[in-house]
Amino acid sequence: MRIRKKLTFVGLFILFGLTSKAQETLFEFGKRKDFNTLISGGSEAEALKWIDVNTADTTWYQDKDILICRGLPIGVVRSEKMYQNFIMHVEWRHMEKGGNSGIFVWCDAKPEKHNRLPSGVEVQMLELDWVNQHKRNGETPPIAYVHGELFGAGKVTTEPDNPRGVRSKSIENRCLGVGKWNKYTVVCVDGTIKLAVNGKFVNGVREASKRKGYICLESEGAQIMFKNLQIIELDSGYILPEHIVEEL
């Protein structure tokens, strides 16, 4: 009996140690603000903490206010907290032609084995030359594919505003190419997402099967830089248990 108790204690100690390690902050980047506080004149902001899911501490590094992702290994880091309704502003630029990346919202932060990426709604960030490097049957994909495409990834589904199959393509090309900064404003409310690129709303999805989850930054094979990431958290809305990802 005593031996069993010892083993149980050791097992719990190991499990606690692994869980604690899994929750360690890899880096801080960006700010979280509360909408009601902003309206009342407050300016308090808290640093966003990011936890590694399946990349490495060498994947990410910071140069002053810029977060740089080397692109390998393929995977994500996740926000410490889950978010339901919010506005996200982020600036990004690819440093390689044809570079691939994105940000997941309402994400479960649980990578699939076949591609190392989780389920969520992806806000696509592909460099413009991607279409020239990935011709299909000799044909060049439409530029709209790389320009802020929105779609349910993995187990998450959405209804597209501008269908390209199950994905939603942008209605106007406003994205800038390699080495140039792009600005995304992403409004996420009760299963609906609207995306503005460089100052104009051009895409959207609705009826997302998940409506509260983690935000994940994606590493997908190419160097990308992020800056000025801000999350403005809005009031919560009506939500069913099945719309919420499992808390980690």
| pLDDT value for 22 | 56
3-state secondary structure of 212: strand
* Sign of the torsion angle spanned by Cα atoms 224, 227, 233, 234: negative
Band of residue 188 on the pLDDT scale cut at 50, 70, 90? very high
Lowest-pLDDT choice from 129-143, 163-177, 221-235: 129-143
Band of residue 21 on the pLDDT scale cut at 50, 70, 90? very low
Q: Does domain 25-243 have CATH number 1.10.10.10?
A: no
Which carries the bigger pLDDT value, residue 19 or residue 66?
66
Q: Tokens representing 223?
A: 């160097």
Q: Nearest CA to 39 among 188, 236, 235?
A: 235
163 upstream amide cis, omega within 30 of 0: no
Domain ranges of the chain: 25-243
Q: Nearest CA to 222 among 84, 54, 47, 102?
A: 102
Percent over 90 (pLDDT), the chain: 82
Q: pTM for the complete prediction? A: 0.90
Per residue in 141-162, pLDDT tens?
877 777 899 999 999 999 999 9
Beta-bridged to residue 157, according to DSSP, are none
Contacts of 14 (CB under 8 A, 6+ apart): none
What value does the mean pLDDT of the chain take? 91
The per-residue DSSP string of 24-44 comes to ---EEEEEEEEHHHHHTT---
Q: Nearest CA to 89 among 199, 220, 225, 241?
A: 199
Q: What radius of gyration, in Å, describes the C-alpha atoms of the chain?
A: 19
Tell me the C-alpha to C-alpha distance, in Å, between residue 210 and each of 22, 27, 32, 111, 220: 24, 26, 21, 16, 23
Helix (H) or strand (E) holding 130: helix 130-133
Per residue in 81-126, pLDDT tens?
999 999 999 999 999 999 999 999 999 999 999 999 999 999 999 9
DSSP state for residue 213 in the 8-state scheme: B
pLDDT (mean) for 73-86: 98
Look-up of token digits 């570079």: 99
Per residue in 122-137, pLDDT tens?
999 999 999 999 898 8
Q: Tokens representing 225?
A: 């830089």
